[in-house]
Amino acid sequence: MFSIAENLQDLSLRVQRACEQAQRSAKDVTVLAVSKTCPADAVRQAYAAGQRAFGENYVQEAVEKMAALVDLRPHLSWHLIGPLQSNKTRVVAEHFDWVHSVDRLKIAQRLSEQRPDHLPPLQVCLQVNISGESSKSGLSAAELPAVAQAVAALPRLHLRGLMAVPAPAEGLAAQREPHRALAALWAQLRAQGLALDTLSMGMSHDLEAAVLEGATLVRVGTAIFGSRPLKTPSPTQTPLA
């Protein structure tokens, strides 16, 4: 029987070793525990082991989980990393702390309009289709600069950075390539005056490659919670951790 606490310890060592190789501080990399399809009790166990940031793919499942963990709400940071449809933006704006999967200006505008005034600004990342896959959501590199500037100007949002889900690749060198490309786009936006600080990239199988290319947040599910049955995603839904 796997232990979530032990898995988090092992993951921390993986991140630390990758940071040492990259000559970076492990403090500069946040682990986002992807708790999609996991019961609330698993989140509670991870919290007891020191984990505070959790990622969810499915809005309704996440909101139900938040309700079951309402006693921990002041201590947790909830991140939506799955595709976001227009009819779900209000629920997301009212419940989440972060959204990593903003892939259209329209979605950002709705989140901005629907973010309650009593809550702090919603932290957002723009999703980039870094591998150019037709099956995945995300902005193209050509679309990115204009959308980034527009999103950064919206009230009630705070544009933090970029997110991507590269095509699967074998071997460290091949895995590093798309992460390097995303980091280059991030650097270009920073050079244009956008105060970005987040590169959400890297998952259980390729976090080392992502850290070597500058990831500040890695989205890890299986390496923490173990294998679990996944919901059958719709054609527009791609597992993100």
Q: The domain that contains 159 carries what CATH number?
A: 3.20.20.10
Query: Please, which pLDDT band fits residue 239 given cuts at 50, 70 and 90?
Result: very low
Residue 49: Cβ-neighbour burial (10 angstroms; 0-12, 13-18, 19+): middle
Residue 172's domain comprises 4-225
Centre a 10 Å sphere on the Cβ of residue 140 and count the other Cβ atoms it contains: 11
- The model's pLDDT over 110-153, given as tens digits with 9 standing for 90+, comes to 999 999 999 999 999 999 999 988 888 899 999 999 999 999 99
Alpha-carbon distances of 40 from 9, 28, 62, 118, 160, rounded to whole Å: 20, 28, 9, 26, 28
**Mean pLDDT across the stretch 96-112?**
98
- The whole-number average pLDDT for the span 188-193 is 98
Determine, yes or no, domain membership for 231: no
Q: Which two tokens stand for residue 237?
A: 């839904």
User: Residue type at 65?
Assistant: K
Q: Looking at the domain assignment, is residue 109 inside a domain?
A: yes
Asked whether residue 232 is assigned to any structural domain, the reply reads no
In a domain, 156, yes or no: yes
Q: What is the mean pLDDT of residues 188-200?
A: 98
- Is residue 167 included in any domain, yes or no? yes
Reduced to 3 states (helix: H, G, I; strand: E, B; else coil), residue 225 is helix
Residue 179: is its pLDDT beyond 80? yes
* pLDDT tens digit sequence for 195-215: 999 999 999 999 999 999 999
User: Is 70 exceeded by the pLDDT of residue 232?
Assistant: no
Domain-embedded: residue 125: yes
- What is the pLDDT, as a whole number, of residue 236? 42
Question: Does the pLDDT value for residue 234 go beyond 60?
Answer: no
2-61: per-residue pLDDT in tens?
Answer: 799 999 999 999 999 999 999 999 999 999 999 999 999 999 999 999 999 999 999 999
pLDDT in tens, 81-92: 999 999 999 999
Question: Is 155 within a domain?
Answer: yes
Q: How many domains does the chain have?
A: 1
Residue 240 resides in a domain:
no
